[in-house]
Structure 1
């Protein structure tokens, strides 16, 4: 008997492949077992709106196929619903699948969905917007802003690398205040990343020994290089630590974990949320523990919780007299 109540959200503009062939492959693999309600994204109708409508009409599971923007948008509609999300990545970077340790080929993704195994992971809210992957301040946001659609279509993930190299030439530090429930941290930084989940290629999110996406905490990485050469060295070091699953030990990189962080900067900095520019600081990011259910191939071991802030330039840490945030 076929599984019913499944909506497939398909972005025909995603990636560099043949969308008609991709959809045919998905249907060939899934339709013998799952009855699919196939809906296409358009410029006027994004995956968030489609998923919200499908849920209102009784969908019991959602499958999203497209790039990171499509997948994040679909996921945002499912936060807090307990409705499982199947992920079939067909984008430029496929950061979403890599961050959640999911397969990035159509065949393996469909096999994962057919297996029916689910895992509950964290989500987050950034300035009241749903967040699944990460919010980047400073360098990362400027890099994403530079990597235009035409360059991504032509060069793929290299578009981000090229944009990052361009951005290094204009690297500027800013003053930041990071508030958690128990302390206020003031420092100089070139980039701050608040991650719920992040792949190794999101280099500036990789201070801890692996970003943990089901511990009820956000992973905050602060990169504070003094020079452009230092920025290059710090970025390379973070990539190596991510690939080796070890924590950073450089003085110009710090990290911490917290359930909620409020970040203010001077001057205001651009903010990228799950790959899209949303405006400028300040931001208020809070973890939503167990907010999202996804189809997964297997359960994996997780690294331990750690914090490192010593060595960052202009660093001051003020311990708050009472835990929590002033909501006034």
Structure 2
């Protein structure tokens, strides 16, 4: 397990910090959170450059340019979407990431023990970490060319996401509530083939499978409650072939992580996981990856996190 490391402030490292902002996160909370974060960094003696793209692709291109040009750190302001973009630019580099969690779910910040919806506190924490060189090396998951920090999932939850993304109305969270009801009505377990570390094969009927580098997804659902982001392994949570009634009983337990003791739930640990199931898609950090099969690898120490 990688420990938190204290490097100390290193002269010559750029004092220009990139504030990577999603102004629409959390229904506008991202824009409001950027100001106190920027103020905290400037008060600590850092120069702040703000990056806001016209869309996700443009934002990522701008951020990658800042990383190439030698920014001292990236502070992601917003929700899990902006953190996910930041991971694509920072994974495998020496540039550290700070997080000012101001989105709807904020699962990355929750999983890493960082402040949630406290932009001033989060900004000061990032500034202090930079000045003191307080950095934690954490693992990331990688599926194809995509990096993720919390959970890759497929099954019932990915079907809900797929259906919700196809619906034009209603707007907001209610759309996904309706998608849950529709998927419950048609619910059935899915046949999975799960391969762990290229060897052990599990063929099973499952409601969902979650491959966790971090503990939570979906705004605080602790689906991989015991996952540690610096141990070089995923926690693979398999929710078995439960019926609708059992699923409705188990589902509320996910917020506390107590579902792991249910007889229909099993947990495996592996550094590489391949999921196969016809007709299912995978999501990682809430972003659609595409149809199964998918292989995820745990990459130790891939990110330097300001804590």
TM-score range, shorter chain: 0.7 to 0.9
Aligned ranges for residues 234-313 of structure 1 at < 5 Å?
Answer: 234-240=250-256, 242=257, 248-265=260-277, 267-296=278-307
**Alignment correspondent of 1:87:** 99
Q: What whole-Å deviation, never above 9, does each CA across 1:125-163 have from its counterpart, x for those lacking one?
A: 1123212222111112122334459889745xx765554
- Look up the match of 2:4: none
Query: Which residue in the other structure is 1:110 paired with?
Result: 123
* Partner in structure 1 of residue 38 of structure 2: 27
Match of 2:241 among 218, 225, 234: 225
**Is 2:149 the counterpart of 1:132?**
yes
TM-score by length of 2: 0.84
Matches of 2:90 and 2:56 in 1, distance apart?
A: 20
Question: C-alpha separation between the residues in 1 aligned to 2:140 and 2:203?
Answer: 26
C-alpha distance after superposition, 1:222-255 (max 9, x if no partner): 1123310111122233333x2xxx6722221111
Alpha-carbon distance in 2 for matches of 1:25, 1:103 = 14
Q: Over aligned residue pairs, what C-alpha RMSD do you find?
A: 2.6
Distance 1:67 1:260, change over 3 A: same
Segment drifting more, 73-82 vs 164-173: 164-173
Among candidates 6, 9, 17, match of residue 6 of structure 1: 17
Equivalent positions of 1:133-148 (< 5 A) are: 133-147=150-164
Following superposition, the deviation at residue 10 of structure 1 comes to: 1.1
Q: Which runs of 5+ in 1 are unaligned?
A: 297-328
Distance in 1, Cα, partners of 2:127 & 2:260: 38
Gaps of 5+ in 2: 1-10
The answer to whether the 8 A contact 1:263-1:283 is kept is yes
For the residues of structure 2 that align with 1:3 and 1:110, how far apart are their CA atoms? 18
When normalised by structure 1's length, the TM-score is: 0.79
- Partner SS, residue 111 of structure 1: helix
